Structure 1
């Protein structure tokens, strides 16, 4: 069975619906909670796939969170060797930084369910199942597209929502993985941020109730497409 290592930054931001898809595609995964795990002995090239999840910190804050320096080094080494990496939100921002691109605040929060618009690049076909599906957005920073990568999608609030590098690397600013039940953990874990932003828990729950079933199916299709292309 193929192996997946999942870098997780906070427990409630996990693989969500993508965990079942990995198993169905013949992958066995395990989490590494990077804030509390020593990464010095981690072999960056060992796993078949590395997935780097989101988290409520800045991709630029190695001073406050020194483990980010190790994550960046691991991601950079895998990308240099064209070993598969999938990044979601913070994970995609770290991928962008590892490839030399800038990550900076947008000046506004993008939180809630909304559509993405796919670019005209042929590589955007991997995201085609999501073209008419509201996805979960939850970020205040924006990555620039690395020089070596292809822009795949944007939204009305954030022009850069996804990029790819070859067939082996996919960065997603949005969250395809969160289920309706899983969102409840986010509402607790991000309670302070939501209060400061003046966002309604009831509205977010309504959005999730409307979108989650379709999003789960589309996310499964995207993940399967990406994993399949690793072997073509």
Structure 2
């Protein structure tokens, strides 16, 4: 498959998912927004992944490039019925395109935290009822779009994972993150400073915590990856 990946920095890439795509021979077509979003062409694209970023969905009124990105997602999901996977901002943008509402969360979530799945959705097949994941967001899906299923929640954020139809799925948490990916994030100006402002002294051992949790995080990634491909209509 040729999969378009929209990312919002050259350092905020698909992270540890990239090895899975490479292993299975899929081609990733990278679009770094805002620089490249105006040139996106969905012709010949078999699926769309949209990653996280520091901007907010409601800023599209002031950011023409973000409005363009929303149009691309709308065309992909509603127009072309392409399989979709969203992470963090990409999760919120999917909800927006489907008619939901995004707002500031009462409390942000930052760091290695826990999420609880709803029942046993295939996306989290074999995962414990509560599992670890890395969070970094201050906004949330505040009103669910019609026809969307909530698949996981946390105490601070009700819509941690959701699905729409067969092949549109998204997660609020950063499923792509491992220690190597966070090291790339740290090359972004002020990223480390912002993380320290959010979690204080816990930032001193965040890399150790990610490494210690890697077996569980990798299992989560494999489940998400496998389920996304399995859900694509033939």
CA distance in 1, matches of 2:55, 2:124: 26
Report deviation, 1:153.
0.6
CA distance in 2, matches of 1:20, 1:51: 15
Task: Kindly indicate whether the alpha-carbon contact (under 8 Å) linking 2:178 and 2:211 is maintained by their aligned counterparts in 1.
Answer: no
CA distance in 2, matches of 1:38, 1:184: 25
Residue of structure 2 equivalent to 1:4: 3
Task: Kindly indicate whether the alpha-carbon contact (under 8 Å) linking 2:111 and 2:199 is maintained by their aligned counterparts in 1.
Answer: no
Residue of structure 2 equivalent to 1:205: 207
TM-score if structure 2 supplies the norm length?
A: 0.89
Report deviation, 1:45.
5.3
Residue of structure 1 equivalent to 2:28: 29
Report deviation, 1:102.
0.5
Report deviation, 1:38.
4.5
Q: CA RMSD in A?
A: 1.9
CA distance in 1, matches of 2:7, 2:33: 6
Residue of structure 1 equivalent to 2:133: 135
1:126 pairs, out of 113, 123, 135, with: 123
Report deviation, 1:198.
4.7
After the TM superposition, which residues 159-178 of structure 1 pair with which residues of structure 2 at under 5 Å, given as runs?
Answer: 159-178=158-177
Task: Kindly indicate whether the alpha-carbon contact (under 8 Å) linking 2:92 and 2:102 is maintained by their aligned counterparts in 1.
Answer: yes
Partner deviation per Cα, 1:128-185 (whole Å, 9 max, x = no partner): 3544531111100001321121111111221110110111100110011111121123
Task: Kindly indicate whether the alpha-carbon contact (under 8 Å) linking 1:35 and 1:67 is maintained by their aligned counterparts in 2.
Answer: yes
CA distance in 2, matches of 1:141, 1:112: 15
Report deviation, 1:215.
0.6
> CA 1:166–1:25 in structure 2 vs 1: closer, same or farther (change >3 Å)?
farther
Of 15-24 and 52-61, the range deviating more from structure 2? 15-24
Residue of structure 2 equivalent to 1:53: 51
Residue of structure 2 equivalent to 1:193: 194
Q: Does 1:44 align with 2:46?
A: no
Secondary structure at the aligned position of 1:95 is classed as helix
> CA 1:157–1:148 in structure 2 vs 1: closer, same or farther (change >3 Å)?
same
Give the gaps of 5 or more residues in structure 1: none
Of 17-26 and 170-179, the range deviating more from structure 2? 17-26
Q: How many residues align?
A: 228
Partner deviation per Cα, 1:77-134 (whole Å, 9 max, x = no partner): 22213211111000111111111111111132200112211113x6x22123544531
CA distance in 1, matches of 2:95, 2:43: 19
Give the gaps of 5 or more residues in structure 2: none
CA distance in 2, matches of 1:42, 1:181: 28
Residue of structure 2 equivalent to 1:69: 67
1:230 pairs, out of 226, 229, 232, with: 232
Task: Kindly indicate whether the alpha-carbon contact (under 8 Å) linking 2:186 and 2:192 is maintained by their aligned counterparts in 1.
Answer: yes
Task: Kindly indicate whether the alpha-carbon contact (under 8 Å) linking 2:11 and 2:187 is maintained by their aligned counterparts in 1.
Answer: no
TM-score if structure 1 supplies the norm length?
A: 0.90
Task: Kindly indicate whether the alpha-carbon contact (under 8 Å) linking 1:161 and 1:173 is maintained by their aligned counterparts in 2.
Answer: yes
Residue of structure 2 equivalent to 1:215: 217
Report deviation, 1:17.
1.0
> CA 1:4–1:217 in structure 2 vs 1: closer, same or farther (change >3 Å)?
same
